[in-house]
Every structure is written in C-alpha cells, then in structure tokens.
C-alpha cells in the first residue's frame, strides 16, 4: 500500500508542473493511541497481577506509519460545494490522491455522476492520472467503459502520458490500440518521442514499421527532434533529410535541427545547410543566423 502512496505522490507532483494550479500534499498519518488494558485484580491476587505495558517498538512504528483513512465522498462533495472554480483544483489535488488509492472505483462513479462540465473534466483527468500511477490496467479498463468518445480518448491520453514516465514503450502500445482513430495522432507522436529518449533504436524500428502517410511522417519528425536535442544533430539531420517525404514537415524538421546544431557547432551546422537544396537552405540558414543573434 505504501508503494501506491509513493507512486501517487509522484503523479501529484507531475500534475503541479502540468496544470500550474495543483497543490498536492503528503498523505496524513494517523497516530494510534495505546490503550492497553490491565487485569483487574481482586484483593486475593492484587500483588501478583501483571503490570500493563505499552506497545513495543514494532507496534509503535506500525501505528505511526499507517496511512490515515481516506476522506469520504461526502466530505469531498462538501469541500467542492464550498469552493470557487479556482479552489476546486486545490481541493482535488489535496483530497483525491488518498481517495484514489483506497477506492478508485468510488471516485470513478462520483466523477461519472458529476454534471458540471468543468468539474467533471477535472475529476476525470486527475482520476485517470492518479489511477494509472498505481494500476494502469484497471485505469485503462475504466477508460474503455466510458460511453462518451471524447471522454474516453481524453482518459486514454492521460493514462498513457502517466505510463510513459516509467514505460514509454507500453504507453505507445496503449495509445496505438485504444487512442483516437484520427490521423495524425499528436499524442502518439509525443509518446514516441519519449520512447526515443529512452530507447531510440526501438522507437525508430517501430516507426519505420508504420504505414506510409502523415502519421509516420509526424513520428519521424519527432524522432529527429529528439536526436537533435540529445546532442546528435548530425544523426538528426540524416534522419530528416533521407526519411521524411512530406515537404512541409521536412522543412520544419531541418530548420529546427539547424538551429539546435548551430548552438553547439555553428561551423558544422552551416556546412551542412550549405549543401541542402535551395528550397530548404534559405530557411535553415535563417534559423542559424537567428540562433546566433539570440
């Protein structure tokens, strides 16, 4: 159970950076008061009655480290009812982590009953992130039970992004199977870039196996960006120049790579740009000059 609390704390911290209005806290802890009962001795054996003792070290440690019971749904409803729109974020960030650890299904039912659109979205998103941190399979199963397609896709997005923090390959597979059918899927591209940061060769092999089209082009562009950011602009340039087919995406990728490369080695970046076709060279050169000016 304590492992689950640690995982939830990590997601709460991540949500602070993502939504800029979250106020996660450390879960409250209960202190169990020792209430040992002595043996009531009568006059005949009062002198031999055993002396009651307090709890031993192990019992005291368990009492002080056990997490307190999660707040009730009723308490959450009361807090939300007395908070303004801005304060709801803080209420959910403070109360939901413990509640999701103890009973995610109850929070799911509560979120699905909510009729206020903004509050419903907040509940759904935070539930998806927190639940994915402790039980990704259960969170994913819940997401697929949602009748609304937009809510279902949003939940899969949040679950996959949370999963990507520890297992980006699994997150890509999750999004590929359960995500939006719209192409290109920008969430899938983001997840592939996160995967490339951890295992570039595996992410590239998976990308190359995708059918030709805008989705594959977007994936290749993301991998080229990752290669450049990781300090290998020459490899990124090769990838963008030789594998990208869409003219607009190739121009965007090459311009970005040229700009990042020039920050590390302006001469090498300029030499590479000089041999580019005219349609690509002018914009890439402008990016190099802009990077130098800043």
Tell me the angle at which helices 136-145 and 117-134 cross, rounded to the nearest 10 degrees.
150
Residue 53: band (very low, low, confident or very high) from pLDDT cuts 50, 70, 90: very low
Which DSSP helix (H) or strand (E) runs through 19?
Answer: helix 2-19
Burial 175-191 (b: 16+ CB within 10 A, else e): beebbbeeebbebbbbb
Cα angle 129, 107, 137; round to 5: 50
| Mean pLDDT within 137-156 | 96
Cα angle 29, 34, 39; round to 5: 160
% of residues, the chain, pLDDT over 70: 74
pTM above 0.95, yes or no: no
Residue pair 272/261 in contact by the 8 Å Cβ criterion: yes
CA nearest neighbour of 22 among 130, 116, 101: 130
pLDDT for 42 beyond 50? no
Residue 3 has phi, psi (to 5 degrees) of: -60, -40
pLDDT at res. 56: 52
Lowest mean pLDDT among 26-40, 122-136, 234-248: 26-40
Residue 36: band (very low, low, confident or very high) from pLDDT cuts 50, 70, 90: very low
Q: For residue range 54-94, what is the model confidence (pLDDT) as tens digits?
A: 445 444 444 444 454 567 999 999 999 999 988 999 999 99
| Mean pLDDT within 93-119 | 95
Q: For residue range 214-235, what is the model confidence (pLDDT) as tens digits?
A: 999 999 999 999 999 888 888 9
pLDDT for 99 beyond 60? yes
Which of 79 and 11 is assigned the larger pLDDT? 79
3-state SS, residue 239: helix
For the chain, the domains span 212-294
pLDDT for 236 beyond 60? yes
| Mean pLDDT within 139-156 | 96
pLDDT for 50 beyond 70? no
Q: Give me the count of residues in the chain.
A: 294
> Across 111-125, 221-235, 240-254, which has the greatest mean pLDDT?
111-125
């Amino acid at each position: 159970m304590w492992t689950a609390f640690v995982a939830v704390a990590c997601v709460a911290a991540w949500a602070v950076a993502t939504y800029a209005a979250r106020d996660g806290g450390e879960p409250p802890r209960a202190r169990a008061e020792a209430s040992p009962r002595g043996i009531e001795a009568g006059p005949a054996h009062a002198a031999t009655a055993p002396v009651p003792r307090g709890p031993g070290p192990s019992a005291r440690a368990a009492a002080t480290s056990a997490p307190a019971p999660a707040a009730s749904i009723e308490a959450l409803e009361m807090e939300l009812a007395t908070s303004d729109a801005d304060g709801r974020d803080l209420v959910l960030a403070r109360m939901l982590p413990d509640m999701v650890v103890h009973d995610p299904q109850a929070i799911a039912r509560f979120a699905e009953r909510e009729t206020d659109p903004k509050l419903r979205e907040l509940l759904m998103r935070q539930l998806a992130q927190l639940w994915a941190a402790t039980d990704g399979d259960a969170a994913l199963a819940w997401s697929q039970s949602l009748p609304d397609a937009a809510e279902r896709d949003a939940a899969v997005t949040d679950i996959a992004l949370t999963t990507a923090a520890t297992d980006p390959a699994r997150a890509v597979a999750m999004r590929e199977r359960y995500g939006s059918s719209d192409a290109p899927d920008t969430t899938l591209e983001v997840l592939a870039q996160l995967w490339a940061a951890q295992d570039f060769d595996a992410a590239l092999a998976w990308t190359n196996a995708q059918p030709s089209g805008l989705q594959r082009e977007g994936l290749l562009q993301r991998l080229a960006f990752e290669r450049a950011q990781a300090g290998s602009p020459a490899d990124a340039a090769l990838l963008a120049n030789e594998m990208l087919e869409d003219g607009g995406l190739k121009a965007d990728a090459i311009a970005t790579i040229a700009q990042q490369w020039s920050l590390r080695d302006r001469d090498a970046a300029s030499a590479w740009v000089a041999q580019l076709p005219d349609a690509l060279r002018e914009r890439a050169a402008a990016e190099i000059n802009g990077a130098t000016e800043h």
